[in-house]
């Protein structure tokens, strides 16, 4: 008999060889129905996999992130089986689960079509209805290669050959389909309830543009049809909010073939960008930051010294000046370090908070470029804080409070926090890493904030806190980060003169709030569907005369708004007033001020608000005072 410790601490005895599914039957029928896999001593197992010793067992359902990954990875195998049935000549590459879905890459002679997706879905449904069990078996490396070669699966052979010589390699079989896979999977294909194939794309094998282009099919799956319908609705809503489309429609920004990955900001986009930068500067001055600017190009030797050369050179651009090698900066931190080094510092000066809206360049593959979300040049709202060890935790708390003010108070985002620890490839001693990690953890606990730990996901020079904000569609975006760095001060021999007159080593904090300014603008565009809060709107009010005889008064209204610092436009086109109002609505203009006979006579304007509609005639000066108040307080109206 073996002892099984359940999640609630209860210990039950079972014969050796018992499966997690059999254990679940002893707990209840509902768990049998909902369990997708099991965590056995912290590792995911198939429900049919026998247990050979004492173990801690926890069941995974679709409510768990790991359960969703198992469910969708199983769905990708069902899709691959359907594709092989319909296109026997195709070769299989990889098919992982991803957030909200899955994909599989195939090497096929001809590109898939939307009509092919319909056929594949039909075949998938037949496989699901057949309720084929997912059967795991293991082979030696030699036998695994022989099996893959016999099946003509060249990509699988390459994957197996990359595994260690002594690796035991697992496969999964469902019906007549077999695939190389670490697993686990749901018990059978019949557990997949509702699914949808979403799109087609090209993808280079292993993400390398020197390799063959494969055909990728994206899909998603859910245990309930209602959940799938809700997700598909969110997808359609996301398409309407796509910042690439809205960027063109609202004349904000664009990307062109002459500079892929290098965005152009139009005049209206620059208004939006400048307002964000102005807000950033105001808040940083209040918090004791000093703004700096470091060069875009610096000697290669600097990047070698900082460690970026070893850890990041594949993502950097290079040039030669006066027969010397230079690099275009992918990050701002070495520039901040050089500035700190430019003179001697006393302990009385610390903490020193240096902020920089710094333009950086990173080499991204063309296949991953995406509007403003993934670009090759962007502005980071970096700050580098140099402080004494005893100041570190309070400085981190201050940064957290600034992030909270930006995200929640100003933009209305919810967010969650993740703490990432030392990665496999990292600089420095374990002791310094532990001290840095404890400083971040201590600040989070001092604030009483919940957080998730991501083991091994820190930067190469220090652990970090990541802030992942959530938009109105429930999507999460990585934006703010705080990194606690003991390594760069060591590498660059940074010092300050302590109270004892001796030199001491400062601690360096790296942080961003917006993250990438370009990416944050894209997120805002999609979150607000282009209907930006009044203070950010490129055009805050449009003045519309009803007929030509009202045009002179409407121009006077426009001039008065401009004098008051309100971004206003006069629409004097020879069009009907209803058409002008509809167009202003499409352009997401917050306020339309309409002038007719009554308004001219009384010195008022008829006010129409973007969401609330007609607000009636109001004195012009009262309207100006109201708009200025909303602009100055950065009033956030949550629109539906």
- As annotated, the active-site residues are 333, 362, 380, 382, 384, 464, 510
Cβ neighbors of 525 (< 8 A, separation 6 or more) are: 241, 243, 246, 247, 252, 532
Task: Quote the tokens at residue 412.
Answer: 């209305």
**Helix, strand or coil for residue 494?**
coil
Collapsing DSSP to helix, strand or coil, 38 comes out as: strand
Angle of helix 114-130 relative to helix 65-86, nearest 10 degrees, comes to: 110
- 603 three-state secondary structure: coil
Alpha-carbon distance 57 to 64, whole Å? 15
Task: Find how far residue 219's CA is from the centre of its chain.
Answer: 19
Residue 262 burial (10 A CB sphere; 0-12, 13-18, 19+): middle
501: left (phi over 0), alpha (psi -120 to 50) or beta: left
HEC assignment per residue over 438-472: HHHHHHHHHHCCCCEEECCCCECCECEEEEEEECC
The count of C-alpha atoms lying within 13 angstroms of the C-alpha of 640, restricted to the half-sphere facing its C-beta, is 2
- Beta-bridge partners for 253: 265
> At 141, phi and psi to the nearest 5?
-60, -45
DSSP 49: P
Distance between CA atoms of residues 409 and 526, nearest Å: 18
Place of tokens 């109201």: 626
Q: Please state the φ and ψ torsions of residue 493, each to the nearest 5 degrees.
A: 55, 50
Closest CA to 614 of 576, 587, 577, 570: 577
Cα distance between residue 505 and residue 432, in whole Å: 12
- Could you give the residue ranges of the DSSP H alpha helices within 224-332? 225-240, 243-249, 267-286, 300-306, 308-312
Containing H/E element for 592? Answer: strand 591-595
> According to DSSP H, which parts of 477-635 are helical?
487-491, 517-527, 551-563, 577-586, 597-602, 620-632
Q: Are 69 and 50 in contact (CB under 8 A)?
A: no
462 contacts 432 by C-beta, under 8 angstroms: no
293 CB neighbour count, 10 Å cutoff: 12
**What distance in Å separates the CA atoms of residue 145 and residue 140, rounded to the nearest whole number?**
9
Question: How would you write 544-557 as a 3-class SS string?
Answer: EECCHHHHHHHHHH
From residue 130, alpha-carbon distances to 24, 85, 127 in Å are: 24, 14, 5
Token pair for 583? 């167009």
Q: In a 10 Å sphere around its CB, with 0-12 CB exposed, 13-18 middle and 19+ buried, how is residue 113 labelled? A: exposed
The token duo for 209 is 């543009």
Question: Which is it for strands 541-545 and 568-570: parallel, antiparallel or unpaired?
Answer: parallel
């Amino acid at each position: 008999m073996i002892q099984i410790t359940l999640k609630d601490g209860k210990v039950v005895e079972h014969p050796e060889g018992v499966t997690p599914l059999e254990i679940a039957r002893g707990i209840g029928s509902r768990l049998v129905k909902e369990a997708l896999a099991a965590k056995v001593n912290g590792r995911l197992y198939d429900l049919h996999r026998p247990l050979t010793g004492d173990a801690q067992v926890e069941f995974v359902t679709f409510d768990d992130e790991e359960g969703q990954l198992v469910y969708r990875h199983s769905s990708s195998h069902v899709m691959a089986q359907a594709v092989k049935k319909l296109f026997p000549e195709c070769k299989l590459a990889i098919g992982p689960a991803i957030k909200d879905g899955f994909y599989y890459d195939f090497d096929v002679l001809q590109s898939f079509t939307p009509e092919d997706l319909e056929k594949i879905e039909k075949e998938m449904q037949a496989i699901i209805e057949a309720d084929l069990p997912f059967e795991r078996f293991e082979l030696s490396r030699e036998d695994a290669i022989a099996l893959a070669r016999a099946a003509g699966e060249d990509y699988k052979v390459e994957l197996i050959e990359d595994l260690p010589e002594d690796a035991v390699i697992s496969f999964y079989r469902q019906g007549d389909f077999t695939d190389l896979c670490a697993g686990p999977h749901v018990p059978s294909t019949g557990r997949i309830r509702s699914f949808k194939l979403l799109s087609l794309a090209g993808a280079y094998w292993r993400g390398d543009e020197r390799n063959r282009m494969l055909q990728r099919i994206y899909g998603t799956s859910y245990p309930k049809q209602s959940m799938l319908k809700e997700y598909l609705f969110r997808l359609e809503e996301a398409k309407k909010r796509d910042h690439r489309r809205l960027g063109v429609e609202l004349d904000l920004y664009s990307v062109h073939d002459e500079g892929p990955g290098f965005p152009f900001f139009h005049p209206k986009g620059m208004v939006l960008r400048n307002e964000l930068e102005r807000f950033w500067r105001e808040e940083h001055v209040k918090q004791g930051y000093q703004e700096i600017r470091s060069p875009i190009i610096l000697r290669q030797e600097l990047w070698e010294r900082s460690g970026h050369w070893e850890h990041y050179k594949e993502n950097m651009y290079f040039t030669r000046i006066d027969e010397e090698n230079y690099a275009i900066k992918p990050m701002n931190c070495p520039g901040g370090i050089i500035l700190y080094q430019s003179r001697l510092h006393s302990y009385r000066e610390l903490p020193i908070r240096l902020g920089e809206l710094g333009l950086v360049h990173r080499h991204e593959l063309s296949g991953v470029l995406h509007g403003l979300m993934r670009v090759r040049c962007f502005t980071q709202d970096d700050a580098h804080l140099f402080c004494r060890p005893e100041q570190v935790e309070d400085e981190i708390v201050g940064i957290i409070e600034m992030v909270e003010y930006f995200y929640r108070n100003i933009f209305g985002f919810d967010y969650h926090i993740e703490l990432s620890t030392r990665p496999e490839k990292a600089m420095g001693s374990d002791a310094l890493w532990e001290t840095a990690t404890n400083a971040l953890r201590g600040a989070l606990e001092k604030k009483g904030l919940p957080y998730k730990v991501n083991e091994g996901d820190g930067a190469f020079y220090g652990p970090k806190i990541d802030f992942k904000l959530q938009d109105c569609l429930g999507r999460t975006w990585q934006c703010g980060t705080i990194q606690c760095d003991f390594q760069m001060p060591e590498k660059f021999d940074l010092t300050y003169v302590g109270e004892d007159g001796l030199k001491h080593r400062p601690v360096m904090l790296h942080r961003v709030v917006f993250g990438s300014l370009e990416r944050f603008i894209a997120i805002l565009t999609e979150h607000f569907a282009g209907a930006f809060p009044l203070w950010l709107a490129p055009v805050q009010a449009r003045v519309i005369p009803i007929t030509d005889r009202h045009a002179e008064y409407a121009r006077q209204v426009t001039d008065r708004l401009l004098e008051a610092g309100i971004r206003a436009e006069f629409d004097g086109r020879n069009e009907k007033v209803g058409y002008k109002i509809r167009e202003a609505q499409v352009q997401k203009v917050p306020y339309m001020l309409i002038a007719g006979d009554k308004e001219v006579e009384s010195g008022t304007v008829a006010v129409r608000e973007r969401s609330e509609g007609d607000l009636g005639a109001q004195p012009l000066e009262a309207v100006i005072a109201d708009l200025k108040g909303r602009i100055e307080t950065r009033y956030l109206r949550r629109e539906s």
